[in-house]
Structure 1
């Protein structure tokens, strides 16, 4: 069993843990980008509409959202390593279930189960980074995490295009199995036990249920509205959401270690950074889910060309994220994030204004602009969220960071379906314009953080 020192893991154990975390976070990120590229293909195979196929994304995000905070809490109680390993196990074998699905319904159900595994990984990933790296290298560790995510995302479209050119879409999910199992076995050797776990704390099942209902109703209502569900049902869901959410927040405010970390939400810069993250990921998803339909259905490109064009976005993120990580501490995260999100919004608006028959080069420079802006924003924002929370609340901070990201992605995916239903012939254009608007809003929120302090509250 790997032992911890007071400030991060010693070398060379740290390298093994970093590689394990890299492989672990790769599988859910790679799976997300693989699935986006394949959505038009899967929709055709299952004779489903473009809007209906978005449920393949929504089901996955729904499972993550309703369980992420609960799993983060379990990580603080039983140890981050155990939850991380459990997530890898569940994700790996439910990926196989996705590959074996024979209808949109069975694939959606498998994606729900896969989402629970992904939630376990995402809920404690940032907390694991905080205990693996020494404090003086935390900024570098978070930047490394951002690079790993960007590399996985950049590989996704290309890998998807290559696989779909020689095999059917189920192989996109099957590829997760060997990667996940390798990370699982490496984790037993290299990942540290959590030195800050609350062994005397009990898991709050009532709060966990209220958390699932609150976030589940939110996603169900917004997705139902986007899909044209009966308005009476949506009104009932919204009313239930308000009532349950109110009692949930009231309950959490009275608890010393709440499942929903309302104590962390009292830190202004923490809350502003979460809002920035949610808006930016909604914009990201609006673009990344809608663009494959535009490339394949409007421009008539094949899956390989679609994957090639999408690659330039995360590839530029991968190149900018390390530079952004090095700038943390030299410049305020609010400024870095604001500038990055403004560049991001310019890229999104330029994509929305593409000519009718654009060349590949005309698309590529716009994708690079989006990726560069997103990369400049991400590392400083994540560092601010982690650094502004006390060390014994790393699990809660990591869980909220993941929840904000997934809520943004889920909202973005639902808004894509809404845009496709409202603007059937111009769904991608409408999605990109909305994405650019959200990115501008995120930039304004980011810039308001300049006057806020990053010092964490007392543990």
Structure 2
């Protein structure tokens, strides 16, 4: 297989070791992604069994997401001091302990505690996943590697709801958590044997920056959640003020810290900054669309939650098919061109979805959803490659943390925008138009990156002629 061929001069791991290391990353990523999507579908069942209200049961998901979001940048920074391998092993172990505790929980409070532990473990593994792909694969295959990563994540999103429905048809909800244990043990064994052993960085850790980062991201997520649930204005305002204040403090600290958690100098590279901007805006559009369509399918078209999950399937399936191909092409073609083409398709698909009405059949919706998936699959791996390759390898952990944080923040904003729109009495189709608008902004960022690359090339050629 091309991904595991070794050529003279290749960096990264040799072919056989590369295969084992990738398998460790695949199983670990699947564990985190599938767990999230499975539990979302099972929330009504868990709430009924634990005698909890729907508003309290939502925190089974929220607790996981808040903790995961808060610690993404922190673990990316810690990995430089203790190595990515150790952080990944810690994350897998912590996630499995949390899953075991959640499976054995018999009241909501204990379950939330172990869900927080799962979120902590997921943050450790997801924050450094992309940087591990860069360490495992040679530079010539970076796009293909990130395409494989996109396939795994999309596969998890596609399989999670269906797997949850099947499991709950035969056994009780604790088995949803227990399913993580054999998968986690397999990933832990592979990771301990095959992940690269990088050298730790010398120097101190930015504890104040880490604290401010956690406050900034956790309060931001809680603000977005409050908006999505139409919370009182004072509650939303309090979380927003805390997020802005801690974010301001975080930026100030990063400018002064001798070993900053996130060196702000990485954003001086315009290719990286524009790729990050495009990614965040595209994830807002995706997060917004997923939630908006859930309401549309169930409340306006009368589908059950499980039927709704099936209607979403074309999106991740299309990413699974297109993502690896887009990643391979990104190793040969300008990634910005591929990303921009993918965003055009995504915008067309979102506009087409916004035009769907209750009288249209299932097929009318499915091809539109598939078109969105094709566009997103063509956009994401090349864009991730652009982010990774635009900075030196020693900044891989920082890039990885930013990638994971931007994805989480973007999806949270998307969910909050749907909630705010529905609270204002706007139609679901309006939010889909909003998703198309944010994706158009992502396209502008991607096109700006292409224009910047052309200007930089002209400047280099002019400089060479002058010499």
Asked whether the two chains share a fold, i.e. TM above 0.5, the reply is yes
RMSD of the TM alignment (CA)?
Answer: 2.7
Deviations 1:311-335 (A, max 9, x none): 2110111111122112214443233
Deviations 1:362-384 (A, max 9, x none): 22212211110110000111001
Provide the residue aligned with 1:71 in structure 2: 75
Q: In the aligned structure 2, how far is the partner of 1:348 from the partner of 1:48?
A: 34
Q: Equivalent of 1:264, from 263, 266, 269?
A: 266
Deviations 1:47-99 (A, max 9, x none): 645x7765444432221221111101111111101100111111122223444
Provide the residue aligned with 1:205 in structure 2: 207
Superposition pairs for residues 33-52 of structure 1, below 5 Å?
33-39=37-43, 48=53
Provide the residue aligned with 1:323 in structure 2: 325
Q: Unaligned regions of 5+ residues in structure 2, if any?
A: 1-8, 457-467
Q: Equivalent of 1:188, from 172, 179, 192?
A: 192
How far apart are 1:107 and its partner, in Å? 4.7
Q: In the aligned structure 1, how far is the partner of 2:26 from the partner of 2:348?
A: 31
How far apart are 1:151 and its partner, in Å? 2.0
Q: In the aligned structure 2, how far is the partner of 1:98 from the partner of 1:36?
A: 14
Q: In the aligned structure 2, how far is the partner of 1:292 from the partner of 1:171?
A: 25
- 2:349 is the counterpart of 1:333: no
Q: Equivalent of 1:111, from 110, 115, 129?
A: 115
* The 10-residue stretch of structure 1 (221-230 or 395-404) with the greater mean CA deviation from structure 2: 221-230
Provide the residue aligned with 2:450 in structure 1: 450
SS in 2 for 1:12: helix
Q: In the aligned structure 2, how far is the partner of 1:101 from the partner of 1:434?
A: 40
Provide the residue aligned with 1:309 in structure 2: 311
Q: Unaligned regions of 5+ residues in structure 1, if any?
A: none
Q: In the aligned structure 2, how far is the partner of 1:234 from the partner of 1:184?
A: 40
How far apart are 1:446 and its partner, in Å? 1.5
Deviations 1:16-73 (A, max 9, x none): 1111111111111212332344456556776645x77654444322212211111011
Alpha carbons 1:338, 1:447 under 8 Å: kept: yes
Q: In the aligned structure 2, how far is the partner of 1:231 from the partner of 1:86?
A: 39
Provide the residue aligned with 2:276 in structure 1: 274
Provide the residue aligned with 1:21 in structure 2: 25
Larger radius of gyration: 2
SS in 2 for 1:82: helix
Q: Equivalent of 1:163, from 161, 167, 171?
A: 167
Q: In the aligned structure 1, how far is the partner of 2:244 from the partner of 2:214?
A: 14
Question: Could you tell me the TM-score, scaled by structure 2's length?
Answer: 0.87
> Measured at CA, do residues 66 and 147 of structure 1 come closer, stay the same or move farther in structure 2, by a change above 3 Å?
same
Q: In the aligned structure 1, how far is the partner of 2:43 from the partner of 2:295?
A: 8
Provide the residue aligned with 1:365 in structure 2: 367
Superposition pairs for residues 108-257 of structure 1, below 5 Å?
108-195=112-199, 197-198=200-201, 200-257=202-259
> Measured at CA, do residues 182 and 289 of structure 1 come closer, stay the same or move farther in structure 2, by a change above 3 Å?
farther
* The 10-residue stretch of structure 1 (395-404 or 352-361) with the greater mean CA deviation from structure 2: 352-361
SS in 1 for 2:379: helix
Count of residue correspondences: 446
Question: Could you tell me the TM-score, scaled by structure 1's length?
Answer: 0.88
Q: In the aligned structure 1, how far is the partner of 2:346 from the partner of 2:117?
A: 33
* The 10-residue stretch of structure 1 (436-445 or 238-247) with the greater mean CA deviation from structure 2: 238-247
Q: In the aligned structure 2, how far is the partner of 1:353 from the partner of 1:321?
A: 26
Q: In the aligned structure 1, how far is the partner of 2:166 from the partner of 2:375?
A: 27
Provide the residue aligned with 1:377 in structure 2: 379
> Measured at CA, do residues 173 and 429 of structure 1 come closer, stay the same or move farther in structure 2, by a change above 3 Å?
farther
Q: Equivalent of 2:290, from 280, 288, 291?
A: 288
Alpha carbons 1:37, 1:306 under 8 Å: kept: no
Q: In the aligned structure 2, how far is the partner of 1:229 from the partner of 1:307?
A: 27
Deviations 1:408-443 (A, max 9, x none): 12222333333343338x4x4444333222222212
- 2:415 is the counterpart of 1:413: yes
> Measured at CA, do residues 235 and 339 of structure 1 come closer, stay the same or move farther in structure 2, by a change above 3 Å?
same
Alpha carbons 2:45, 2:173 under 8 Å: kept: yes
How far apart are 1:129 and its partner, in Å? 0.8
Q: In the aligned structure 2, how far is the partner of 1:319 from the partner of 1:294?
A: 26
Q: In the aligned structure 2, how far is the partner of 1:69 from the partner of 1:127?
A: 13
How far apart are 1:233 and its partner, in Å? 4.0
